Amino acid sequence: MSSHSHHGRRSVSGPTQRQLRAGELVRHALVDVLRHETLSEPALQGAPITVTEVRMSPDLRHAVCFVEPLGGAHAREAVEALNRSARFLRGRLGHAIDLKFTPDLKFVHDETFDAAAAIDRLLADPRVRRDVEKRSDRSERDED
């Protein structure tokens, strides 16, 4: 049986190659727009924004843009400012990408940096480190 179900829909969950390619195209173009444009939003003045990922809808008409302000400071304000500027950014993006439709943009804070920092704090805890070291010592003895 083919990997496609009836009506041309994919039976496998997750983004298609087309969505992934379009997301990367939008991400790179958005980085360039943010680098070269001066936005009037005070929350974005002098605050470099990292666009970590862009997830496209199946019809490529909507893009969820995951962002992280440099250092993670004032993330909520930066995301709100980017969402207020979304129409302007979409207009600039339309000149920079070659897609049939320029997607609507929605900005959200990328929480993965916060999650990674929390895991680092846990691993730095002396009790956790002691347990991890005991486990790795046991693994080394089992291999011998």
pLDDT reading at 22 higher than 50: yes
* Residue 17 belongs to domain with CATH number: 3.30.300.20
pLDDT reading at 4 higher than 70: no
Residue 2 lies in a domain: no
Range of the domain at 52: 12-110
Residue 3 lies in a domain: no
The number of distinct structural domains making up the chain is 2
Do residues 105 and 89 make contact, with C-beta atoms less than 8 angstroms apart? yes
For residues 96 and 30, membership in a common domain is answered with yes
In the predicted model, what is the mean pLDDT of the chain? Answer: 83
Give mean pLDDT, residues 20-44.
Answer: 92
The sign of the CA dihedral 55, 86, 99, 61 is positive
- Bridging pattern class, strands 62-69 and 49-56: antiparallel
CA angle (54 as vertex; 20, 12 as ends), nearest 5? 40
**pTM score over 0.85:** no
Q: Which residue has the higher pLDDT, 53 or 122?
A: 53
